[in-house]
Every structure is written in structure tokens, then in C-alpha cells.
Amino acid sequence: MKTVIAFDVSKGKSIIAAYDELGYFIFEEQFTHSRSGFVFLEEKIKFLTKKYEQTPEIVLEATGVYSRAIERFLQDHEYRYCLVNPLEANYQTKSLRRNKTDKSDAHELAKSHFKVERREKFHQDDYYENMRVMSRHYNDIGEEKSFYKNKLHALLQLSFPEIEVIFKLKSTLFYNIIQIFPHPDTILNSSKTIVRNRLKKCTNKNYSLKKLDERAIQLIEAAYESYPAIDADDYQCELIKKYARKILDLNREQIQIIDEMATMSEGKREFQVLLSIPGIQKNTACRLIGELGNLSRFKNNKQLNAFIGIDIARYQSGNIQYKDRINKRGNRRLRSMLFFMIVSMLATKGKGSNHIVDYYYKLKGQPYNKHHKVAVIACINKFLRMAYHLILHGQLYNYEKATNVA
């Protein structure tokens, strides 16, 4: 007879409830996430295996870092298990009358197990897990960098706002220059030759003296016109230097992460396939692999769409019917990445034939005349169908064949 053990996971401990397929209660226990606690858990699993002559089915709700220790134990002992999304678990166990406690959650999850279809957790190899962790760390650094950029922008409005007009805000030269000239007085106290020489030291590019002189004159003229809200010896000028250094350090860390991910991905089928698609460079390819993981765990591209959150959410009741929208219940990082990837492809449409770009302009034209975001989402869907097919079959991108594939 089949049995099930269901977990309600919390910080440092879990409650387990065991039932058989007829819905009869077997036992309820609590254990800690420690070596002795997992020894106790293994004894309970062996008890059920011996009594019912079959390894129990195991189900637990994903609770972030708190459930990872249990997953590690189950993987180390080669136990199969179902990892349920919290939203899905809530839907599957809800009833008209329900008391919400840790114990009741474990019992409801166990009793519902034989009534609903749950997929076993797919185990990816360490490559995909490491790529995911590195991709998430890359995103975290990006968020930290945005924080310091906003801080820096606010301070520059007080000291030297004109400098943001002269240089590209994303350039290394810009962040090097404001460390030297955080205030217009620091420029006015220097000659044109000194300003030019410092500009030269701030960049690795081989600018001509004429170009450097033009930039130096621009800076000096901007300094004369500037009317700063703070003095040159104000501590906020030191903060400008500090934030600029921090942003450059974060830039270097992001570049290092992508280089490590690319080194790990050399020889991997999906990496080569993604790089063969026009508009996808090393950075995007690595981060896509990190977020997508092993595509073989999806039965079809529709499951992939649901994982990302671009599947259609439709509502109709009686005479009421809302406009179709995407679900947005999937991987928001991946959804954002794919959106900006398509936008980047559109911006570089002249650098190679790309059927995704062709499809966008087809949707924008008559008789479709789609809104920009609607067309981009449709392009994401087309890209995922194409990438899913190419990666699983180990085929590189081909413009002539891509339209038929996707």
C-alpha cells in the first residue's frame, strides 16, 4: 500500500505527518534540522518502508533556505520527493473551513497528495545550480550598483550637475573623472594642460591630443557656468568619490562573474546555441542558462512559458470578460531579462538577420498593429519555442530554418 510523508517546514525544524492512500492517519512527529534530527527522520522512513513494503512518497512545500537542508538529506539518501510551490500548495489544500497551523498544514498536504497530480523534483547537476547562484549574485550586484548610482546622481546635482551632460553616465571614464573633479572648483584651480593630462590617465582608450583638448575645454567651460549648492571642501564631495569607486568595483565584479560563468559553460550545448542567435552575447547567454537551467525538465515550451510567467491569464464570467494578460507568476528576473534582450535585438537589427526582429515588425504593421509591449511578449514566446527546440536537438541558429522551427 502506498504511503506519504508530508512536511511543514519552518526555521530549524519541521513537522511531519504520514498517511496511507486510503486517507488513514499513521503518525505525526516533529524533528530538528540537525544531524540527530535527520537520523530520526530516516528511521521513520525506514519504518514505513518496512511496514508497508514500499518506500513512502515524500512531499514538502518550498520554503526558500529553510527547506534546502531537507532537500539535501533526501538527495544524499536518494529519496524521491515532490517540492510544491507555496501558492500551489495553498490551492490544493484549501477547504471551506480550515484552521491554519503548522500541524494542520502538514496533515492537509499529506491528505491531498493522492488526490492531485504532483511531479517529482527534477535534480539538475551542479553546473546549472552554480550558474543559477552566480546569475542571482550578478543581479544582486546590479541592484546594489543602481542604489549607488542614484546616490551619486543626487550628490552631483548639488556639486557639479553639468558633468553628467559631458560624459556618458555608464562609461568608466565618467566615474574616473568625478573622482578627480567632484566639484567645479577643482577644475578652475587647474590649467587646461593639467585637466587634459588627467583626462588621459582616466581612460585606456588612445584618444588624440585634439580630442582630449576638446574635452578639457568642455569641462572648464562647464565649471565656469556651474553654480554648485555645496563647497569643494564639503564632505559630500568625498562621498561622490567614494560612490564612484564603489560603482567601478561592482562593475569589475560583474565582469568577473560573467567570465567565470563563460569558462564553466565552454563546451556546453546550450551556451553554443544561444551564442549563435543574433543579438545574444556572452553576458546574456550565461545569465539565461543560469535562470533557465536544464530545459529537458520541461515537457514542452508551454511549461517553459508558465515557468517564466508569460502564459495567458484569462478571466470570463457571464457577460464579463477581461482583457487577456500574461500571468506574471513565474520567474520575474528571467521575464525582465528576456524583455530587455528583445529590446536590445531591436536596437541592433542592422547587425544580422534575425527572424525574431522580423516578427516584431510584422506585428507592429498592418493588419495587426500591436502595442510595443504586446509585440515584445509575443517575440519572447517565439524566441522560447525556438530556443527550446534548438537546445534540446543541439542545433545552432539558422535564419532560413528558424521561421519554420519557431
- pLDDT-derived band at 287 (thresholds 50, 70, 90) equals very high
Distances in whole angstroms, Cα of residue 72 to Cα of each of 65, 123, 132, 378: 11, 11, 17, 38
Percent of the chain residues past pLDDT 70, beyond the cut? 94
**CATH code of the region 130-262:** 1.10.287.4070
Query: Residues near 309 by Cβ (< 8 Å), separated by ≥ 6?
Result: 326, 327, 328, 329, 330, 331, 332, 335
- Mean of pLDDT values over 275-296: 94
| Amino acid making up residue 258 | I
Contact 265, 289 (CB under 8 A): yes
Q: What pLDDT score does 229 carry?
A: 95
Residue 223: alpha-carbon gap to chain centroid: 41
**Which cell goes with 53?**
513494503
- Mean of pLDDT values over 55-64: 91
Burial of 262 (0-12, 13-18, 19+ CB in 10 A): middle
User: Nearest to residue 261, comparing CAs of 280, 282, 277?
Assistant: 282
- pLDDT-derived band at 99 (thresholds 50, 70, 90) equals low
The answer on pLDDT for 248 being more than 80 is: yes
How many CB atoms lie under 10 A from the CB of residue 196?
Answer: 21
Distances in whole angstroms, Cα of residue 311 to Cα of each of 209, 270, 360: 56, 23, 18
**Which cell goes with 191?**
590649467
Q: What pLDDT score does 320 carry?
A: 65
Domain residue ranges in the chain: 3-111, 130-262, 267-405
The answer on pLDDT for 88 being more than 80 is: no
- Mean of pLDDT values over 315-327: 68
The answer on pLDDT for 279 being more than 70 is: yes
Give the pLDDT confidence of 106-139 residue by residue, as tens digits: 898 998 898 888 888 888 888 999 999 999 999 9
Compute the distance between CA of residue 184 and CA of residue 389 in angstroms, rounded to an integer: 57
Least confident of 113-117, 268-272, 389-393: 113-117
Contact 163, 255 (CB under 8 A): no
The answer on pLDDT for 405 being more than 60 is: no
- Mean of pLDDT values over 137-162: 95
Contact 163, 297 (CB under 8 A): no
Q: Which residue has the higher pLDDT, 90 or 159?
A: 159
Burial 33-50 (b: 16+ CB within 10 A, else e): beeebbeebeebbeebee
Least confident of 55-64, 165-174, 191-200, 321-330: 321-330
The predicted model scores a pTM of 0.85
- pLDDT-derived band at 323 (thresholds 50, 70, 90) equals low
- Mean of pLDDT values over 25-29: 93
User: Nearest to residue 290, comparing CAs of 162, 164, 134, 400?
Assistant: 134
Percent of the chain residues past pLDDT 90, beyond the cut? 61
Residue 352: phi and psi, rounded to 5, are 155, 155
CATH class of this structure's domain 3-111: alpha beta
Q: Which residue has the higher pLDDT, 134 or 215?
A: 134
